[in-house]
Amino acid sequence: MLQPATSSASLKDAPASATAPAARNGQVVRAALTTAAAGLLVGLDTGLIAEALGFIGHDFHASPRMQEWIVSVLMIGALLGSLGAGVFSRRFGRKLTLGVATLLIGLGALLCATAGVIEQILLGRFLIGMAIGICTFTAPLYISELTTGVMRGTMVSTFSMLQSAGILLGYLAGGIFSGGGHWRLMVGLPVIPAALLCVGCVFLPASPSWLAARGRFEEARRVLRSLRGDEEAADRELDNIRHELGAGHPVGGFALLRRKPYFRRSVALGVGLQVMQQLTGINVVLYYAPKILEGAHFGTSAAAWATVLVGVINAVIGVVAVYMVSRWGRRPLLAASCIIMAGALAVAAVIEGMHLQGLGATSSLMVALLVFVAGFGIGAGPLVWTLCSEIQPIEGRDFGVACSTLANWGMDWGVSNTFLSIVAVAGAGWTFAGFSALNVLFLLFTLLLVPETRNVPLEVIEQHLEAGRPLREIGR
């Protein structure tokens, strides 16, 4: 609810005035957390399909290639969803876009749960994918526009943390329902949180940056004053937004890309970050963990519950990362993440490549996968989304984030749709070795190009970018 206008003198005299900014800060946190809850839906589907895939394949007599398509058709939907999300979000706003995504997730989950033919599952997964593509575009962007520089990293990282929590919930549901093979209950589960989030979207505020980009400056001012609880701070922030917009005459994404070399650089960096995130191999482990573990001589039930342990580590590290990201900075955490992931996959490659067997080998493989997931969770998971929402100038922010999100889902599809086939040809050992090498490449990418943006206002990042500073220095 918007507060009535109050003079500066009365604010000083009012007993509650000292707590007003804190109260409004709580309003920002609630809005950001509601938005970040979209990450729970994104992660929930990942965990559920990993556990349900074997049962679906058995009931529909699906080949390994068809199972790859059941997993990866979601990425095609996500790719198209992220592509359309930029246009829809720019025209209709962040909160409406997020609400539409929750409806699509609910519809897709119902289609999967009631499927009589495998084509209906593919359609449902495609719709869920479209919704996930919209969520991964809209939620980090919307959060970055609602929050200030101090809490921005933490709140955007919460989106990634809740993805991890959703994956764990999916794994747990799979472990519980796997005893009876109740895959329909697994894939229908997202209907409930999707409905709750759809209701929550009704109460979200409009993005001040989006309102300003539409020329609705007075509405943007009212929202900022409501969120910040400080009229002067809100007015200064709006002045910065107006300056970034070029006095209220925004330029379209493609036009900005043609005219501004600095925008081409920021878009390229965002795309590169998302491509490298997917080449770490994280979704190979998360989507196919039960199959990887069964191939390492885990039983079906043991593999299901071992997969839950992967989800536990992923969720716990996600919580830790929320606190670390605003204290350690982006570059150190991302570099450490790459080193941990490369080392863990190198160990997995040796175990699989040498065909080691026995309790020691299977336990070591399990530990290597857990360390890999933990390494991803402290850096590459939350920080890529955070950085991509921070480095784009306001005029082209929708376009820039859409390009990076599109790259994420396109590469996710390429990796997920070929993993089982690559393992069949090259073997698990060489496949893990390849992903280990790609994580070393990600480390070099980070050291050479990624900026440190911790606690740096978005407008300062944009000024440094426009001034032509090297990419790794735009946060200084």
Average pLDDT, stretch 24-35? 81
What are the structure tokens assigned to 178, written together?
A: 């796997």
The whole-angstrom separation of Cα 129 and Cα 76 is 7
Per-residue pLDDT band at 12 (split at 50, 70, 90): very low
DSSP 369: H
pLDDT at residue 211, rounded to an integer? 87
Is residue 338 pLDDT above 90, yes or no?
yes
- Contact of 368 with 306, CB cutoff 8 Å: no
pLDDT at residue 150, rounded to an integer? 61
What are the structure tokens assigned to 426, written together?
A: 């090259």
Residue type, 474: I
Per-residue pLDDT band at 8 (split at 50, 70, 90): very low
pLDDT at residue 298, rounded to an integer? 67
Percent of the chain with pLDDT over 70: 89
pLDDT at residue 9, rounded to an integer? 30
- Contact of 41 with 102, CB cutoff 8 Å: yes
The predicted-structure confidence for 223-243, as pLDDT tens digits, reads as follows 888 888 778 888 888 887 787
The whole-angstrom separation of Cα 83 and Cα 205 is 24
The predicted-structure confidence for 153-182, as pLDDT tens digits, reads as follows 778 778 878 888 888 888 888 778 877 778
pLDDT at residue 296, rounded to an integer? 61
Average pLDDT, stretch 49-54? 82
Angle (CA) 163 452 271, round 5°:
60
CA 89 to chain centre: 17
Is residue 460 pLDDT above 50, yes or no?
yes
What are the structure tokens assigned to 415, written together?
A: 């990796």
Contacts of 308 (CB under 8 A, 6+ apart): 168, 171, 172, 174, 175
Average pLDDT, stretch 189-215? 90
Residue tagged 């190979």 (tokens): 284
The whole-angstrom separation of Cα 86 and Cα 397 is 9
Q: Where are the alpha helices (DSSP H) in 147-260?
A: 149-177, 183-188, 191-201, 208-213, 217-228, 231-244, 253-259
Q: How many CB atoms lie within 10 A of CB 246?
A: 11
Closest CA to 234 of 224, 246, 242: 224
Closest CA to 307 of 52, 41, 38: 52
Per-residue pLDDT band at 13 (split at 50, 70, 90): very low
Q: How many helices (H) and strands (E) does the chain have?
A: 23, 0
User: Which H/E stretch holds residue 421?
Assistant: helix 419-426
- Counting Cα atoms < 13 Å in the Cβ hemisphere of 429 gives 7
Q: How many CB atoms lie within 10 A of CB 418?
A: 15
pLDDT at residue 45, rounded to an integer? 83
Average pLDDT, stretch 93-106? 93
pLDDT at residue 21, rounded to an integer? 44
The whole-angstrom separation of Cα 359 and Cα 216 is 64
Is residue 449 pLDDT above 90, yes or no?
yes
- Counting Cα atoms < 13 Å in the Cβ hemisphere of 380 gives 34
Is residue 130 pLDDT above 80, yes or no?
yes
The whole-angstrom separation of Cα 39 and Cα 169 is 12
The predicted-structure confidence for 250-309, as pLDDT tens digits, reads as follows 556 777 888 888 899 999 999 999 999 999 998 888 777 776 776 666 666 666 667 778
Average pLDDT, stretch 454-460? 81
Average pLDDT, stretch 337-351? 95
Least confident range from 52-61, 92-101, 317-326: namely: 317-326
Average pLDDT, stretch 67-86? 87
Least confident range from 56-60, 142-146, 228-232: namely: 228-232
The whole-angstrom separation of Cα 43 and Cα 47 is 6
Is residue 60 pLDDT above 70, yes or no?
yes
The whole-angstrom separation of Cα 329 and Cα 318 is 16
DSSP 99: H
Q: How many residues does the chain have?
A: 476
